Amino acid sequence: MDNKPARLENLHTDKGKVPVYATGIVTQPWDDYSATDHDVWRRLYERQRRLLVGRAADEFLAAQDAMGMTPDRIPKFADMDQALRDATGWTLVGVEGLLPELDFFDHLANRRFPVTWWIRRPDQVDYIEEPDLFHDLFGHVPLLMNPVFADYMAAYGRGGVKAHGIGPEALQMLTRLYWYTVEFGLIRQKDGLRIYGSGIVSSKGESIHCLDSDAPNRIGFDLERIMRTRYRIDTYQKTYFVIDSFEQLMDATRPDFTPIYARLASRDSIPAGDVLEGDLVFNKGTGEGWATDADV
Ligand code: PHE
Ligand code: FE
């Protein structure tokens, strides 16, 4: 990605000094974070927490507190590990960035969550193209404290290894599931819709847009529907899928996907913004502001 060289210049640490182990694991170079790095963490943390009270799933905010995640300074992965190991047996591993798919699945299947060690620059607080420490640690890690969600993520990793062996179409369907649940999922709680997707909780703009805007569709979770639905990588989502509980997510994804992949392979994909007959519609989006170029 083109912002990488600039980002590396901005840090005291550079790639060459961080020892890389098998499957892309690096030691978090904690002592090398600058005051600016810690400050970026603090600003993002405080801004998102303020916004997410009443918007994010209760479990998410409670888990951040339980893990001892604070705005004070960039957490040490090793410290975050303690609470996580006790709660669900997950651990964190530092990585340089996105991993090859199979390595990523293998980590998840073994309850290791890869966390990018570097944090974005101050001019990137509102948007960054690739996952950084804030997205990974603030966004993904807290829900790994939830036993049901933790099991879902490990099952996803095993399912990923399997889909990788089946072929690119299976992988694409599984990736859509990840996108519309782990990254951009909404959950229905007592007092209304809440956020649990990591891609949303780590974004100020999308944390507001996904719940408050009339533009996007908000539709009930449906496994096969999601597996056929294309998505956006460079704009807010046109559609969010809503689960009732993490148990629902776990139960719906328990069946063997192999026959599902085979059956869906011959069906057309669904554009990101379409609403279909049979959808459980919480909000039919107005489509205001939607990009007209192709979905991924
Ligand atoms: N049950 C899925 C399969 O057989 C695995 C899976 C579980 C995938 C949970 C995603 C989430 O492939
Ligand atoms: Fe992510």
Name the active-site residue from 202, 203, 206, 207: 202
Question: What's the gap in Å between 58 CA and the centre of ligand 1?
Answer: 26
Closest CA relative to residue 170, chosen from 71, 262, 96: 262
Q: Is 107 annotated as a binding residue?
A: no
**10 vs 260: which has the higher pLDDT:** 260
pLDDT at 68 over 80: yes
| Sheet architecture: strand order including 91-95 | 25-26, 91-95, 112-116
pLDDT at 19 over 80: no
Name the active-site residue from 59, 140, 164, 198: 140
Mutate to test the pocket of ligand 1, among 249, 257, 258 (most ligand atoms within 8 A of CB): 257
Q: How many CB atoms lie within 10 A of CB 127?
A: 12
pLDDT band at 9 (very low <50, low <70, confident <90, very high): very low
The percentage of residues in the chain with a pLDDT greater than 70, rounded to a whole number, is: 92
Active site residue 209: no
* Atom 10, ligand 1: residue with shortest CA distance: 156
What span, in angstroms and rounded, lies between the C-alpha atoms of 256 and 254?
A: 7
Closest ligand (CA of 105) = 1
Residue 125 makes CB contacts below 8 A (sequence gap 6+) with: 40, 43, 44, 47
Q: How many CB atoms lie within 10 A of CB 235?
A: 13
pLDDT band at 4 (very low <50, low <70, confident <90, very high): very low
Question: What's the gap in Å between 142 CA and the centre of ligand 2?
Answer: 13
pLDDT at 6 over 90: no
* Complex confidence, ipTM: 0.96
Q: What is the DSSP string of 90-118?
A: -EEEEESSPPPHHHHHHHHHTTEEEEES-
Enter the DSSP assignment of 189: E
Q: What is the pLDDT of residue 14?
A: 43
Helices and strands (DSSP H and E) totals, the chain = 13, 8
Name the active-site residue from 183, 198, 203, 206: 183
Residue 103 makes CB contacts below 8 A (sequence gap 6+) with: 23, 24
Q: Name all domains of the chain by residue range, CATH numbers in brackets.
A: 1-166 (1.10.800.10), 168-296 (1.10.800.10)
Residue range 238-266: mean pLDDT, rounded: 97
Q: What is the pLDDT of residue 292?
A: 86
Active site residue 101: no
Closest ligand (CA of 171) = 1
192-195 vs 217-220, strand pairing mode = unpaired
Residues with CB under 6 A from ligand 1: 152, 155-156, 159, 162, 177, 253-257
pLDDT band at 23 (very low <50, low <70, confident <90, very high): low
Question: What's the gap in Å between 92 CA and the centre of ligand 2?
Answer: 14
What span, in angstroms and rounded, lies between the C-alpha atoms of 292 and 231?
A: 13
Name the active-site residue from 59, 107, 135, 206: 135
Mutate to test the pocket of ligand 1, among 148, 158, 182 (most ligand atoms within 8 A of CB): 158
Please check whether residue 123 is in contact with residue 43, taking contact to mean a CB–CB distance below 8 angstroms.
Answer: no
Question: What's the gap in Å between 154 CA and the centre of ligand 1?
Answer: 9
Q: List, for residues 123-145, the tens digit of each pLDDT value.
A: 999 988 899 999 999 999 999 99
Closest CA relative to residue 141, chosen from 66, 194, 192, 203: 66
Q: Is 135 annotated as a binding residue?
A: yes
Active site residue 202: yes
Question: What's the gap in Å between 257 CA and the centre of ligand 1?
Answer: 6
* Atom 5, ligand 1: residue with shortest CA distance: 159
Q: Is 140 annotated as a binding residue?
A: yes
150: three-class secondary structure by DSSP:
helix
Q: List, for residues 146-203, the tens digit of each pLDDT value.
A: 999 999 999 999 999 999 999 999 999 999 999 999 999 999 999 999 999 999 999 9
Closest ligand (CA of 114) = 2
The residue type of 282 is F
